[in-house]
Structure 1
Amino acid sequence: MRAAGLVIIFLSCLIPAYLFATLPDIPDPVALFSQYLGTLALILMAWAQIMATRSAGIEALMGPMDRVYVLHKWSGIVAMAAILLHDTIDADMDGIGRETAVTEIAETLGELSLYGLLVLVVISIATFIPYHLWRWTHKAMGGFFIAGTIHYLFILKPFANGSPLGLYVGAICGAGVLAYAVTLLPPALRRSTGYQVSGIRKTGGATEITMTPTGRPLRFAPGQFAVFTFGSRGLTEPHPFSLSAPPSADGSLQITVKALGDFTHRLGRDLTLGTPLRVQGPFGRFQRRAPSSTAEIWVAGGIGITPFLAWAEALPDRLPEPVTLFWCVRSRAEAPQLDRVEAAVNRVSNLTLHILASDTGDRLTAERIAANANGPLKLWFCGPAGLRRALQSGLARHGVSARDIHYEEFEFRTGIGLKRLAAWIADRLKDRAAPSR
C-alpha cells in the first residue's frame, strides 16, 4: 500500500477537523464533534466508492489493487464506527435554525442510511454469505451513501453549504456519488477490453480458460490479474483472476480457475466456447524484477501457482541466480498446470521445483525455506493467508525481514479478523497463566 494514498486520505479527514475547530461561537463542542464524525464517515465512504471504480490511477496513488481492496474494506468499517458514534453522541444544536419539512426528511434519510449501512456492513464481513448475494448488497451501500449525503446537505448545522467547510465536504461527497454512478455502468461502458472464450481445458483440479481479443488486446506483465465479466447466463458476476500465461503474440489471455465457490464451480461446469466477455485491468504489482542478484524463493499454495506459472514461462533459458519454487498442493493429481510448470523447470537452468503434497504428509516450514536458501533471499508468496503468516513468523527467526517477503492478498473478500484476534488474546492469557520457571 502506498504511503501517498494513506496520507491523502488521512489529510482529507483532517482538513474538516481543522475547519470545524475554527468555527466561531459554537455553544456545544460535544455536538460539534458529533457533526464532525458524521462528515468523517461521509468522506471515508466517498473514498470507498472511488476505490471501487478500479479506475486508472488508483493503483498509482494507493498501491496494488489487492491492497486497495483491503483499504476499501477498512474505510467502510471505520466509516461505520464513526456513524455509530455520530448517532450515539447528540449532534443537535440550539439556535442554528428552524426545523422544516426538508430538514425532517433529511433526518429520516440519516436514520435510514445508518441502519441500512449497519446491516450491509455486517453482511460484508460475514464471509459465509454467498458471493452473488454479498455483491448486490455491497452495491446497495452506494444508495445509503447518497441518502447520507442528502442528510448532510439539508440538516441544520452551524455552517452553510456554501462556506469553505460546506464546499469541501460537499465536493468530496459529489466525487463519491459520481464514482458510485460509474460502478453501476455495465462493463461495456466502462474501461474494459472485449474477448471471446477460445479454449477450455481441464488440468488437475482446475479449468484452464483461454480467451482471444475481439479488439485491441490487453497489455499486461506476468504476475498481474484482471477482472473478468463473462457474457453467459449465470456467469455475469465480475471476478478477479490471475493471468496464468505470459503475454502472447496474438494477444490472447489465459486464466486457471479452481472451483472454490459457487461461481467458480459454475464457471468450470457451464462455460462454453465462443462466450463473449469483458476484461478490466490489468491490476496488481506482483511482478518479478529481473535480473536478480539474490537467490529467490517462490512459494505457491494450490491455485496460487498461476502468477508463478506466468513468471516461469516468461523466464530466459538461464538464470544468473537460483530460483526455487515451493508448491504446496493437496495431491499431485489435483495440482493444476503441473505439466506446464514442469516443462518450464526443465527448460530454465537454475529453476528448481519442490512439490509438497499434504496427502503424503509433506509440509512446508520456514526452516526448510531457510535451509534451502543458504544465505540472503527474496521470497515471493501467493496462497492462503494462514500459510503466509506462519512462514513470515518462522522466517523472522531466521533474519528474513518483512521487506523481503512480497505477496498479494489472495483472499479479497475477508472478515475483519475477529477469530484471529480472539486466538491471539487467548494465547496471551494462556502465557500469563502458565507458571514461571
Structure 2
Amino acid sequence: MSETSCPVCNLTLPLSQIESHVNAHFDEDEINPQIASDHHLALQLASSSDPSPSSSNFDDSLGLHNKVATLVRLQTKSQFYSVGNGGLICLLKTCLEYELKSKSKPLECSISLLSGYVDHFHSSKEDKGWGCGWKNIQMQCSHLLTHREEEVKRVLFGGSNFVPDIPSLQRWLEIAWSKGFDVSGAQHFDSQICGSKRWIGTTECAALLRSFGLKARIVDFAPKKSESLYLSVPGSAIAPKIKPRGPMDRYVTKKVENGAKKPVDSHGSSSSRISKGVVLMDWVWNYFSENRLNVSSGVHMTSKAPLYFQHEGHSRTIVGIQRRLQGTTFTTQYNLLILDPADFTKAIEKALVEKRGWEGYLKRGAHTLKCPEYQMLYVDNGIADGEELEQLKIIDSHFVEF
C-alpha cells in the first residue's frame, strides 16, 4: 500500500487517507497542528480497520511482535518547548553558581548536585489534571536517551531516539502489560489505557521502562503504621514485598477495613513534617552523591538520572538537591531542585536567564513536604535480560520509614 507523509504533522498515512487527514488540521481556525496530530494518532492507535502489519492503523488483532513493529513505525515524537544554552539544567547550574558567589554573607558551605540534561515537558489544556504522570515519564526518558549508553537508545521505544507523545506512551504501556509486566496493575486498568484520562504513577512508569529491560526501581516513604493501614487497599506499594498496583488509587481510598477514616497522628505536625522531610531529603542526597561522605562545596553535575517524585494528587521530577551547612553549629538545610509539569517551560527559562524568581519554580525545602506518603522512581544502570528481566515483571518497592 502506497504511503505518504502529512505536510503538517509528518505522520505517515496511506494515500487514501492523507487528504481527509490534512483537511482535518484546518477544520478549526485556531487548531494546533500537534494537538490535531496527537488526536489523530490516538484514533489510529485504537483502530483495527486493516489487519495488515504494513498498515498505518494499529490493529489489536496483531500478534505482540507485529504490534511492537507497527508502534515503532507509528509512534509520534512529543512536542515540547526547546530551551537553548544547554537546556534548563545548564541554566540552573549557572544560577546556583551565581547564588553561591553573590550572597552578602557567604555561606559556610553550599553544595548542589544535579542530574544531567533533562527536557521539561509541561502540561497542556488537553492533559490538565491527569497528564502529569506521562509528562514525568517523558522527562525521565529525555535524560535516558541523552546520557545512558548506546544500548539504552537501541532498546528504548524501538530505537527511535526520541521521546514519544502520550498516545504512543499509552500504547507502549499496554504492550508492557501484554508482555507480563505488572500483571496486577494491568488487571486494575483492564489492560487498557490508550485514550484514557486515568491517573498513572510510578508503578506504570516502572512497568513501561522495565519492558525495555531498564532497571526502574520504586521507593516508598511513609510512617511505619501505613504498612498495616494499606495492606488490603488496592494500589498499595507501602509495605516491602507488597506489589504496587496503580499508585494513585491508595490516595483516593481514604478508609481502612472497618470503614473508619484514616487516623490523624503526630506526623501532621510542623515539627514531624520537617523530620520526615529530612529523611526523604537525606535519601535524595545519598542518591545523587552516591553515598559519598565528602563532596566539595560548589555545583556538581552527576551521572545520576532524575527522580520521578509521586505524592498525593500530583507528580514532579527531581533533577537535583542543594545542601547548605549554616551557622556556627553547621545546621543542615536541604532544597530539592524540581521540574514541575504544571509550570510553563518558557516561564522557567525566563526566570533562570534573568536570575530572578527561579527559586520559586525550582526549590522546595523540607517544610513543603506535607503529604503523608511519597514515592520515588529511579533507573539503575544497565539492561536486564534473561532471568533478571523476568524478575522485573514483578514490581515491588523498597520501604523507607519516616
Give TM class, smaller chain: under 0.3
Normalized per residue, which structure has more helix? Answer: 1
Structure showing greater radius of gyration is: 1
